[in-house]
Copies of this chain bind each other. A is one copy, B any other.
Amino acid sequence: MVTLKQLAKELNVSISTVSKALNNSEEIGEETIKRVKELAKLYNYKPNKVALSLKQNKTKTIGVIIPNILNHFMAKVLFGIEREAGLHGYNIITCISNESLNKEKEGFQLLANGSVDGFILAVAKETQIKNEIAHFKKTLGDGFPIVMFDRVAHDVQCDKVIVDDFDSTYNATKYLINEGRKNICFITTIDGLSVGKLREQGYNKAILEENNQQLLTLKIDKQEDSQEKIKEFFENNTVDGVISADNATGVISINTAISLGLKVPNDVSVIGFSSKYISSHSIPKLTIIRQHAKDMGAFAAQLLINRLKNPSLPANETTTKIVKTSFVKNGSTL
């Protein structure tokens, strides 16, 4: 990597002249600017990012702490963050918390040392269960803005990007009720998460509003085999409608129903929080509640960058952006 020093030497001018020339300073003569720029291009000079960061006390880098990158939703949000960040000249450093509180804390430790200007994250499962928020507050106190998406800690004052989990599940359940379904069950593998709870509450509300409906819930642990649990559940319960809270049990429900000789959507109707990609892993395709993950990522990045660009924004004046889901009707509902 060429440095200003080397260019200066070769051109027989001072370092500051080169620096100013490259930054189109008014102070420098046109002729000099031209000479400098030519040599810089020849040597493919690029200002050293690290030196710039040190000097300007900002890194133009965002720390992203993702609970689980193998989750398609999370990966999509990350994609959205990366793209939006790039548009604004920001890089992203990714840490994967693996749903662990400790790794989440480590992520902050690792990056809140000048590596990044701020953080975007979805709260790890363990953190949500233990309801720990001290590390968030500390990081905020240290002057690092934080944006939370999807799974947020409500007691932390920071910008947030969330989904209307409650409403969309409520509406989806209503949809099945209006189809005339009498035995609508709720299947979840994300019981421990804030979003999982909200979705369950949305389902509960819709069901409990009806006289002739009752709650029917299947909670599956991550370690368990979803296929088996669902099969067992279908065999032991009459089910004609399914609301799936996560991105996999929707298609698995469809496949299970079919393998049990049921017709989808005639005998069983299924709706799930999933993606287009996964929705095609069943025939008929899963009717989904789309969460616009990429948009969520983009919004999160915008909120953070906005705060970084306006350090005067009061820390207690935070924005919560609610990204409305879309109901995408595919073949698994009437």
Contacts and interface: CB of A to CB of B under 8 A. Distances in A.
Contacts of A79: 69-70, 96
A127 interface: no
B251 A281 contact: yes
Contacts of A283: 227, 255-256, 258-259
Contact of A91 (B70, B86, B110, B255): B110
Interface stretch (A51-59, A146-154, A299-307): A51-59
A256 B83 CA distance: 35
A248 interface: yes
Contact of A49 (B91, B114, B251): B114
A50 interface: yes
A248 B277 CA distance: 9
A47 B258 contact: no
A75 B70 contact: yes
Contacts of A49: 113-115
A177 interface: no
Contacts of A91: 93, 95, 110-111, 115
A61 interface: yes
Contact of A54 (B51, B61, B226): B51
A59 B1 CA distance: 14
Interface centre among A50, A59, A277 (most CB of B within 10 A): A50
Interface string A125-165: 00000000000000000110000000000000000000000
Interface string A192-234: 0000000000000000000000000000000001110000000
Contact of A75 (B61, B75, B111): B75
Contacts of A69: 69, 75, 78-79, 82
Nearest to A281: B281
Nearest to A74: B75
A239 interface: no
Contacts of A15: none
Given A79-B96, A281-B278, A283-B256, A112 B46 contact: yes
Contact of A282 (B53, B92, B255, B278): B255
Given A82-B96, A94-B92, A94-B94, A46 B113 contact: yes
A255 B281 contact: yes
A111 B94 CA distance: 15
A82 B95 contact: yes
A174 interface: no
Contact of A48 (B92, B114, B255, B256): B114
Given A1-B143, A91-B115, 10 more contacts: A1-B114, A48-B113, A70-B75, A70-B76, A72-B72, A82-B95, A91-B110, A94-B94, A255-B282, A258-B283
The 4 closest A-B pairs by CB, nearest first: A281-B281, A46-B113, A48-B114, A259-B283
26 contacts: A1-B113, A1-B142, A1-B143, A46-B113, A48-B54, A49-B113, A49-B115, A51-B54, A69-B69, A69-B75, A69-B79, A72-B72, A75-B75, A86-B95, A92-B93, A92-B94, A94-B94, A225-B280, A227-B283, A248-B277, A248-B280, A255-B255, A255-B282, A255-B283, A278-B281, A281-B282
